[in-house]
Structure 1
């Protein structure tokens, strides 16, 4: 029977000592030699025959070695971060986490399968998430509708205990109602750490009723986050959409960046924005272009501008604003 991951580390910690003296065994951190041995073992697990590779397929030696290094690095970073929180311990809990993370990531890589080849070019597999990553982004690739199953898979890294994500981007993926229900508890669990949220273009192609329900779910889930940046662009919000985000907007008093581009913002929607956001004292960026605001909407937005003394980046082009609205905005910018 092969030794377990924990055995590798424990054996490393029990190297013979020629002098007899009281000592305490520290199981963490493992030596470089132990880490290299583990990488070799993971490589074999990914490329050799087993019940898992028979089910999901095995990787080539080259691809397996590349993934093995990423897996071990990510697991070590996660376990080391855990150990730093309990430096007086013997490191056994860090070793257990190290082993658990490795096993979990091995299975995920096998489920994902080997690299695909398209038009003669190798498509590289997505790198294993590291414990210290702060930006979670699902916007890459083609626009796509996603349901509950896809949401579970895409958002899995956000459920990892101890993750460090402070910025999320859900743009370019159209969430259905079932996917929104999957995202809801995940977002609630991140309330205390999120600082930047990008929900631009995340309901494309949905009916108005479904889109409003989805926006209400996301708004309630994110209510209370202390955000620095919020992007709700490209969602055809209108007044109904703005008010669907009421809970989220009303809880924001520290925003530094707000993006509401290409949202079909009418004069009524502009008034709703002015009404719902409690404070813009820290706002530095307000991008509002390509809307249907008109003069009356511009007058409402001018109140937001007037109450934003730190504003340095303001865009309001292509909003059907004429002289009356333009004058109101100009005066607000001068205050």
Structure 2
């Protein structure tokens, strides 16, 4: 039996609701993604980060995705800076595009890479540049969706960076294991997830499925609460956004934004952040499905994030 994490440690990461905090201290999140075909994914990731409690969210997307994303919510700050091979201006490169985004990264706590990114070569190359830039700034990174396609082909992009969290589904997990020459036969899922973390130098791996396995080199947690019974697209995007918020809170915790005993070690924050987010998303899915049944949509889950958060604070919100 794999032990569940200590809830008291999860609560340590969560900032108090206080008039003494100012805008941005409870989380500034960036999302790299959004293309002509995929505008919902970065929206779900970004808005879920704010529904959980982040103060600000910036989305860096391809120009054709910007207007749709802006129309979904005025709460998101949308930058139409990303480019595809088709619309990349003459004499510009992916490094130039990343260079336009880089100054904004300096104002953020966490970067999510992948929701709606597409597999366009320039979009992928730009994402790779931005991950490297985020690493140089010591930022936490969440990699999902087409960002995992990037890691599959360029594992060195995240290898050895212990502030990175990867969130593969069943198919993506198998492909990552194949890329890292990990045999998945005759092994417990928990052990395979930990081996993948080890092969990638200690990143946190969230293997999504019937139960979510969260692993790094040192520990394995499982989130196995009831979820909904309908598997519509976009739930993984909600997870990436909620993980980002917990990681942003972890950054604020490390920076001493509020008074605490500093007993949670920095290297444990990604693991606890990922487990907490998985637990909230499963609860949100369960609640939304309970209300809507087969008619449930991913957007219904957004309205359940606040109530699902209460499972960590039985005596009410902090």
TM range (shorter): 0.3 to 0.5
Instruction: Report which of the two structures shows the higher radius of gyration computed on alpha carbons.
Output: 1
Q: Larger relative contact order (C-alpha < 8 A, sep ≥ 6)?
A: 2
Q: Normalising by the residue count of structure 2, what TM-score does the alignment of the two structures yield?
A: 0.33
